[in-house]
A and B are shown apart, each in its own frame.
Chain A
Amino acid sequence: MDASDPLCPRPAPVRAVHHETADVFTLILDVSAIPGGAAFAPGQFMMLYVFGVGEAPISISGDARDSRTLAHTIRAVGGVTRALRNLRPGDVLGVRGPYGSAWPVAAARGRDVVIVAGGIGLAPLRPVIYHLLRRREDYGHINICCGARSPGDILYTGELQRWREEGDMQVMVTVDHGDPGWRGQVGVVTELLDRVRCDPANTLAFTCGPEIMMRFTVRKLRELGIAGEAIHVSMERNMHCAVGFCGHCQFGPLFVCKDGPVFPWPRIAPFFGIREL
């Protein structure tokens, strides 16, 4: 294997598979054999390759302190992600990365934080939460707002509970459609933002989810008085190469793979509302 070839995956065995919801699972990969491990920053992603099937960009959802393993929370929606779901501990897949920009977690010190996640969008935000939890006292109010399609689609339910009870975080969850057992909120995630605790002038906001959700989230955050520069958005576009060669992930002048996926809002605002860009 040519270490200088950025297009060549390296083998990594699956250590564990956790089932999160009906169609979402988390793979724990052992990357200790890869020189340098897989040191990553919260918000970055990897390209995961299933032998003979193909490759997909998947955000890293584990703890950045651990460079020997990588956690990926994945929704089985396409050919590659369905094949990823069939992997078992001991199976080997190919990995490239980490790639892309990161959430500016260092800038959160001394400030309030608002995290707004839609569905699987919570996965690339979990490394942020781990980072904040490690030195909880360094931050002000921390708000986690999660939206899911239904109660059965809520991710990391056990951890949400722990973050709420032990992490001194305000964790709020809403679903689009409840079920008979659901006692929580029903509605869109932006409704949760009315209840966030923060000083808008000293708050950092991170959001990841469907584009329509992020559009309304940013609008609401701005209404709350949070400056555009303090809002960070993670974008999704088609990626084949992750290194800026294939052209698929262009969003206006930006390559989501290498300029993003995390952008400060002012950088993408001029292009965000343009249809079919």
Chain B
Amino acid sequence: MENRFLITLEGLGALLAELKGMGRTLIGPVVRDGAIVYDEITGLRDLPAGWGDVQEAGRYRLEKRDDGALFAYNSSPMAWKRFLHPPALTLWKARRRDDGFRIESEAQAPPLHAFIGVRACDLRAIAIQDRVLMEDRFRDPHYAARRRDVFILAAQCAQAGNTCFCASMDSGPRATQGFDLALTELLHPEHRFLLEVGSEAGGRLLSRVPHQVAGEADWAAALQATENARAQMGRHVDTRNIKTLLYGNAEHPRWEETAQRCLACANCTMVCPTCFCTAIEDHTDLEGSEARRVRHWDSCFTSQFSHIHGGVVRAGIASRYRQWLTHKLASWQDQFGTLGCVGCGRCISWCPEGIDITEELAVIRAQDQNGAGEDA
């Protein structure tokens, strides 16, 4: 069965309109506040036509392009977890009654979303959060309700940013699964999109808009686009034995050195597409008759994160940075069977100090104490 097709710019517009007509809220890239973020879009005209970005450690700038490309930007400061694992969420409400109180779950049907323009690294990130929040011993009903029916239109990367390293993490640049449809934007000789079908829902949607079967030349052009992205990848990580490398270097002096720069601002954890940690806050109304529990994103960089009675376990910033990085690349593997980093580079671009996870890993490997990262 053919699963590669071509649609025109108008065809893409029609596809978005179809999705919207099916009652879905479209979430896609838009330009706002000098960045490309994900928000509700009405259709093609809201997409960031002709915008790209330049990213470096601690730096993100939009840059105008002259080709009208819709998906020529790199990692957004926003990750899709905002919509699947919201930054703040009411879990339940409790109301006081004569005989005590009654608790009602707030786990309910969320809006039916379609995600437009999900990158390969972010598809992997979604799969990683699925594993954490739905596929372990307990299932988070709030995440599951948002995740279940989401439609995903992926966008294959035709370029990579300077902070990208998905190729090192084996999570990109080409998406091969986890989407309903995946587009590759082709700009020459004319503006068109190669579409790969990843699910029945994707195939059904495509059948409702004008399309044609893609030729070999179109497919070759799409693959070349991804290869261009791979070649542009600005960062690299050597992941060999990375778990034992980090476990074996828990007392490495580099943690203290990096702590001198780290502000413990938590930016890296907020932009990270896999960071899932949350805190609970209980709120009551003024009468004291109603209480609600709110879950919000938390960060292992805050001092209170590791609070137990009598004090804070990770009192210093060095231990918090070590916790974050070791969790991403080492203990995540023991916990969930995958790496917790997808190589999107957000933490590098959005660190106000420009601390670069790839550089930190390279330094620890180069000054490996007791050969922890070497082959057994």
Question: Judging by beta carbons under 8 Å apart, are B313 and A94 in contact?
Answer: no
B residues near A55, Cβ cutoff 8 Å: 280, 282, 293
User: With an 8 A cutoff between CB atoms, is A269 at the interface?
Assistant: no
- With known contacts A2-B105, A250-B323, A253-B331, A240–B280 Cβ distance under 8 A: yes
Q: Which residue of B lies closest to A12 (CB)?
A: B100
Query: Is B216 an interface residue, CB under 8 A from the partner?
Result: no
Contact indicator B335/A255 (Cβ below 8 Å):
yes
The answer for the CA separation of A8 and B305 in the assembled complex, in Å, is 22
Q: Is the interface of B mostly helix, strand, loop or mixed?
A: mixed
Name the contact of B104 in the complex, choosing from A1, A53, A237 (C-beta under 8 A). Answer: A1
| CB <8 Å contact, B298 and A253 | no
Q: In whole angstroms, how far apart are the Cα atoms of A240 and B310 in the complex?
A: 17
| Among A10, A236, A241, A274, contact of B308 (Cβ-Cβ < 8 Å) | A236
Partner-binding segment picked from B49-57, B137-145, B152-160, B162-170 = B137-145
Q: What B residues does A275 contact at CB under 8 A? A: 319
Decide if B224 is an interface residue (CB 8 Å cutoff): no
Evaluate contact between A247 and B136: CB separation under 8 angstroms: no
Contacts of B136 in A (CB 8 A): 244, 258
For A11, what are the chain B residues with a Cβ–Cβ distance below 8 Å? 100-103
A247 contacts across to B, CB distance below 8 A: 276-278, 298, 300
Residue A243 CB within 8 A of the other chain? yes
Given A94-B94, A275-B319, A1 and B100 contact (CB-CB distance below 8 Å): no
How many of B's residues come within 8 Å of A, CB to CB?
55
Indicate if B67 sits at the interface (CB-CB under 8 A).
Answer: no
A252–B344 Cα distance when bound, in Å, is 24
Complex CA gap A238/B251 in Å reads: 23
Closest to A9 in B: B103
Interface of A, secondary structure class, is loop
Within 8 A of B (CB), among A48-64: 51-55
Residues of B within 8 A of A13 (CB): 100
List the A side residues contacting B307 at CB < 8 Å.
238
Q: Does A156 have its Cβ within 8 Å of any Cβ on chain B?
A: no
A250-B331 in contact (CB<8A): yes
Q: Are A243 and B107 in contact (CB under 8 A)?
A: no
With both chains docked as a complex, state the minimum distance between the C-beta of A262 and any C-beta of chain B, in angstroms.
16
Task: Look across to chain B and name the residue whose beta carbon is closest to the beta carbon of A120.
Answer: B309
Q: Which of B105, B138, B316, B318 contacts A245 (CB 8 A)?
A: B138
CB of B103 to closest CB in A, whole Å: 6
Give Cα distance in the complex from A56 to B286, angstroms: 23
Judged by a CB distance under 8 angstroms, whether A276 is at the interface is yes
- Residue in A4, A238, A243 whose CB lies within 8 Å of B306: A238
Q: Say whether, besides A11-B102, A51-B101, A245 and B313 are in contact (CB < 8 Å).
A: no
Residues of chain A within 8 A (CB-CB) of B316 are 276
From A52, A252, A258, B137 is in contact (CB under 8 Å) with: A258
Question: Nearest Cβ in chain B — how far from A112, in angstroms?
Answer: 32
Q: How many residues of A contact B (CB 8 A)?
A: 42
Minimal beta-carbon separation of B291 from chain A (angstroms): 4
**Residue ID in chain B nearest A99 by CB atoms:** B138
Other-chain residue from B103, B132, B308 in contact with A238 (beta carbon distance below 8 A) = B308
Contact of A198 with B by CB under 8 A: no
CB of A225 within 8 Å of the partner chain = no
Contact between chains at B319 and A237 (CB < 8 Å):
no
Given contacts A238-B305, A246-B278, A10 and B103 within 8 Å (CB-CB): yes
B137 CB contacts on chain A under 8 angstroms = 243-244, 258
The complex places the Cα of A92 from the Cα of B293 at a distance, in Å, of 17
A274 to B330, CA, bound (A): 16
Q: Does B34 contact A (CB under 8 A)?
A: no
Decide if B278 touches A241 in the complex (CB within 8 Å). yes
Point out the residue from A6, A92, A274 that lies within 8 Å of B101, measured CB to CB. Answer: A92
Min distance, Cβ A13 to any Cβ of chain B, angstroms: 7
For the complex, what is the distance from the CA of A241 to the CA of B94, rounded to whole Å? Answer: 17
Contact B306 A248 (CB under 8 A): yes
B21 at the interface (CB under 8 A from A): no
Q: In whole angstroms, what is the CA distance A51 to B94 when docked?
A: 8
Partner of A5 from B141, B277, B309, B323 at Cβ < 8 Å: B141
Which chain A residue lies CB-closest to B251? A274
A255 to B280 alpha-carbon distance, docked (Å) = 17
Give bound CA distance, A241 to B140, whole Å: 11
- Report if A181 contacts B (CB, 8 A): no
Contact flags (1/0) for B329-359 with A, using CB distance below 8 Å?
A: 0110011000000000000000000000000
Residues of B within 8 A of A (CB): 91-92, 94, 96, 99-105, 107, 132-133, 136-142, 247, 250-251, 276-280, 282, 284, 288, 291, 293, 295, 298, 300, 305-310, 313-316, 318-319, 323, 327, 330-331, 334-335
Q: Can you show 23 pairs from A to B with CB atoms below 8 A apart?
A: A6-B141, A7-B92, A11-B100, A51-B94, A51-B101, A55-B282, A78-B309, A92-B99, A94-B103, A237-B313, A238-B307, A238-B313, A244-B132, A245-B132, A245-B133, A246-B298, A247-B276, A247-B298, A248-B279, A258-B136, A270-B247, A275-B319, A277-B250
Q: A11-B100, A253-B330 are in contact. List 20 more A-B contacts (CB 8 A).
A: A1-B105, A2-B107, A5-B92, A5-B107, A6-B139, A7-B142, A7-B293, A8-B92, A51-B101, A51-B291, A52-B284, A55-B282, A94-B94, A238-B305, A241-B278, A246-B280, A248-B305, A250-B327, A253-B334, A275-B319
